Structures are given as C-alpha cells and as structure tokens.
Structure 1
C-alpha cells in the first residue's frame, strides 16, 4: 500500500505492546483505551486528502499478533460506535480471533460513487482511499495478517464495500454485505470472495437498479459476481430459520461466493437474540449475519 503515500498522510503508528494494553499515541484520542470484555478499544486518527478522519480499533486485550483484520462499514445515519454494538462482531475480538476496526463516515455517510450517498456522496469524499488507509494503519497497529483482511458493509457501507473492492481488489481476502447490491458493474474486476445478503422484504434493495424485488436484485448481483469469480456448477444450499445460504466453491484463484437470503426480513440487520440497538431484527445465533459472515470470511485467504 506504499502507493498511498503521495495521497494519504498517516499519523505515526505503533503496534500494541505484547504485555500491556496499548497507550494512545499522540494521534489517538486523549481518553485512555476502553477495556471491556477482554478487548481494548482505541480511537485512531489519520489524515486523508487533507481531512482528519477517525476509526475505532478493537483488539484482544491479549495482544495476539498475526490475527485477521475485519473492517466493518456502518450504514448511513449510524455511528461507528453504534455499528460496533449492534452487528455482533465484537465477540470475535473478545475470543482473540480477530482485530476489528469501525471507520467513521463523514456526516454518518459514505461516498460509494455513482451519486451515493448523503453528504459524503455530494461532497465527493475520497472514501475508498480512506478505507484503504485504515487497513494500512490498522495492519501496522495490530500487526495483522495481510492475507486475512476482510471487509463487511451494511446498507450505504455495503455499497462502499463493492466500490472498494472494485478500486482496490488486492487488499481484501473477502467481503460480506447486507442490505445493498452493487450500484454498477466492475469491468475487468479481479476475483474476490464475497457473501451477499439481503432480506426478501427489503424495500431499499428492491429498488436498486430497477429490480422488481429484493430477491431479484440480490440474484442479479450474485450472478454478476459468479461471472466475476468464474464460479462453476450448482451451489451447496442450507436452511437455518429464515436464512437460505447458497455457497459456490472452486471459483477462480481459490475464491468462494455465497448468497444469504433472509425470507421475510427487511433492511434491518439480523442479529442474535433481542436487542435495543437500532436497525436490527432478532434471529437465532446460527442465522445471525455476524455468525454467517464470519464463518464465510474466516475461510478466505489471499494467494
């Protein structure tokens, strides 16, 4: 990611110490790190195209090195803090299985290109460069495994995820999205493992690209990705409550593709159990988006 040097000015980064919780450097928030449930959370700062940006960095308090790095992009109108609380991925940091980062969009929005979305879209914020810069900074901070960097996006964050892997296809070993489909094709896109998920009653996915239903929109997007990854044959399919999960293996360069269809669910994130967090729907732990996405992503590696 040295190619970002001319475009992105990063604050000085240091990996967390091996035996004690990390102390915020000069570029981190003034507050001490928050240690909860065997994790340490620090707000990191960096500058992209002259604009100061932030993200939450959540790692195991045990400070394991060489863990996967999971980047989670919030939806429009949702903060990084809310996304960390409602999506269910923190469990994997608590178990010492992954380091997780939650970048913050400008005015709680992302510029996913193609006229989307909100303030970030209108102002042309360079969010693909920001996400790539976050990966570079967080990978150094955590000493993460560069072959296991994963991207998750919800709604507006999902749309940015698609744009990100089109613009920077060699950064992520896999992506997983809920509540959106690609806004445009990615001509000549390199193979990237992907799990695309949506509820059949999602009114936002239904209207994407003129599709008659959310199911049709998701099927079209999955078919597009199947061509991108050159996935052969018929997928294996399983059913868990409202979830129908179809998975293609043996795709180009060892990639995989999955479609997660939640029957009757809307735009709200499927989460395990009942919660007061915004924009969530209660499902079983086995059908929860975090469970399904992590199971898929954790199998992916860059060549």
Structure 2
C-alpha cells in the first residue's frame, strides 16, 4: 500500500545535523494537511528547530485501539520514523509521537507495539483503551514516557483514566515527591516515575471536553483553556530522550 505524509522542516534545518522529530497524528476523520493547521506545531518547530511529520490515515482514519480500519498503522509509523532517520538525519533518540482522539489512541498503541522507536508520546483527548489494553502483558518492553491531557467533560474521560491506571500498574509507576504544583486554575497535574525509568504526566482540565487545550484552530480546539498543550508537550519531549 502506498502511504502519504506531509513533512515540515524548520528554516534553520541543516542537512547532516541530527534533528528531533515529532510525528503528529490527526483525529478521525482527518488528514495530515488538516492536522498541520490545527495546533501550532509548524510554528513551534520553526522556533525550536525540529521536524514535524503529518501522516495521512487510510480513508481519514488510523487503526488504533478502538477503531478504525485494518491498516498496519504501527508498522507505517515505525517505517516512517526509520525513513526520516535515514533521509533527514533525524536523531533516533529524539523521535516522538503526538496525536488527538483517534491519533492519540494510536500513539499509545505504537508506544507498546513499536517500543524502542519513540522516546515519548504526547496524547490529547485520547487513551490507552479498548480490548488490547486489557491484557496484562500489553505494555511497552522499552521505556516510553507519556504526557497526556484529559478534559473532565470528555465523554471518554473515565475510560482514559482507567487506561492510565492500567499503564501505571503494569510499569510499576509511583507518584513523584513532592507532587507537582497545579499549572493554572482549573487544572490538576500528576507525575509518576516508572520502574523502567519512564515518566507519566497527566493534566486534567475542568470544564473541557474532547479538545486540544490552548489551541485556536477551527476544530477540536479549546482556546479558552489557559494551558498551552503544544508547548507543554514539546517541553516534555525535550526532557525525555530515548532511554537505553
């Protein structure tokens, strides 16, 4: 099958110099081109000097944990990361995944099934859910850190929380001490450190539904939430290169 993606290179990109990579996964239905205009990743990449790849799902969807289709999207993401390592000099220790909704669910699936490919994932309004996530042995075999954002009014919030409990339990995660301070009013933040050296950060936002906090795009955005999720995800990524 032929697969497509859009790649954004920052103005300061220098061929031959190792560069971080963020692969950003669209919601369902969606496209990589649409995703590139929603949450400010191109602008942030231009400032911070990393590549952003926007894959297209088959028929607007990714084969994630609860839907959709039967494409080998985990294999596609692993192949795409490897291709960009070989052709664009991506630093293999600084390859990351982010996504929202269907794309967020796929981020969790890839973290498990392509463990070792991605150092960390940033998930917005998505989760470690579905039948696969129930099996006790369904967990990454290499460290993958997680930062995620959950709106308390999201109809899937309870399922996302249950999935995170399973993730933490299987990886032997415990809360850090002292606990992190709330970043702003109406938001709670928890941070856990896991037995394999990975970390899990969870932002819970009062009053938010199935959205991307702090974004101002036309779709799935919550500009009224004073929490810049895109910048926070990137900050988390920079602090979590791949662990050996």
Identify unmatched segments of 5+ residues in structure 1: 1-50, 206-213
Give the ranges of 4+ consecutive aligned residues of structure 1 lying more than 6 Å apart after TM superposition.
Answer: none
Distance in 2 separating the partners of 1:57 and 1:157: 17
SS of alignment partner, residue 95 of structure 1: helix
Distance in 2 separating the partners of 1:222 and 1:136: 28
Aligned to 2:229: 289
TM-score, scaled to structure 1: 0.71
Aligned to 1:199: 151
Identify if the C-alpha distance between structure 1 residues 252 and 279 changes in structure 2 by more than 3 Å, giving closer, same or farther: same
Instruction: Tell me, yes or no, if structure 1 residue 269 matches structure 2 residue 212.
Output: yes
Number of residue pairs matched? 233
Q: Residue 278 of structure 1 is aligned with which of 219, 223, 238?
A: 219
8 Å CA contact 2:122–2:148 kept in 1: the answer is: yes
Aligned to 1:240: 184
8 Å CA contact 1:237–1:245 kept in 2: the answer is: yes
Identify if the C-alpha distance between structure 1 residues 264 and 178 changes in structure 2 by more than 3 Å, giving closer, same or farther: same
Q: Which string of whole-angstrom CA distances, capped at 9 and with x for unpartnered residues, describes residues 118-159 of structure 1?
A: xxx1xx111111111111112223201111111101101111
Give how far 1:101 is off.
0.5
Give how far 1:252 is off.
2.7
Q: Residue 173 of structure 2 is aligned with which of 219, 222, 231?
A: 231
Aligned to 1:257: 200
Give how far 1:276 is off.
4.8
SS of alignment partner, residue 139 of structure 1: helix
Aligned to 1:110: 62
Distance in 2 separating the partners of 1:181 and 1:132: 20
8 Å CA contact 1:82–1:277 kept in 2: the answer is: no
| Backbone CA RMSD of aligned residues | 1.9
SS of alignment partner, residue 77 of structure 1: coil
Instruction: Tell me, yes or no, if structure 1 residue 72 matches structure 2 residue 24.
Output: yes
Larger radius of gyration: 1
8 Å CA contact 1:55–1:102 kept in 2: the answer is: yes
Identify if the C-alpha distance between structure 1 residues 75 and 188 changes in structure 2 by more than 3 Å, giving closer, same or farther: closer
8 Å CA contact 1:88–1:271 kept in 2: the answer is: no
Distance in 1 separating the partners of 2:104 and 2:91: 23
TM-score, scaled to structure 2: 0.87
Q: Residue 38 of structure 2 is aligned with which of 86, 105, 115?
A: 86
Distance in 1 separating the partners of 2:180 and 2:231: 18
Instruction: Tell me, yes or no, if structure 1 residue 141 matches structure 2 residue 101.
Output: no
Identify if the C-alpha distance between structure 1 residues 171 and 236 changes in structure 2 by more than 3 Å, giving closer, same or farther: same
Q: Which string of whole-angstrom CA distances, capped at 9 and with x for unpartnered residues, describes residues 222-269 of structure 1?
A: 2222223322245434232433221223x2332111111111101122
Identify if the C-alpha distance between structure 1 residues 135 and 276 changes in structure 2 by more than 3 Å, giving closer, same or farther: closer
Give how far 1:113 is off.
4.5
Instruction: Tell me, yes or no, if structure 1 residue 299 matches structure 2 residue 242.
Output: no
8 Å CA contact 2:124–2:148 kept in 1: the answer is: yes
Aligned to 1:24: none
Distance in 2 separating the partners of 1:105 and 1:130: 10
Identify unmatched segments of 5+ residues in structure 2: none
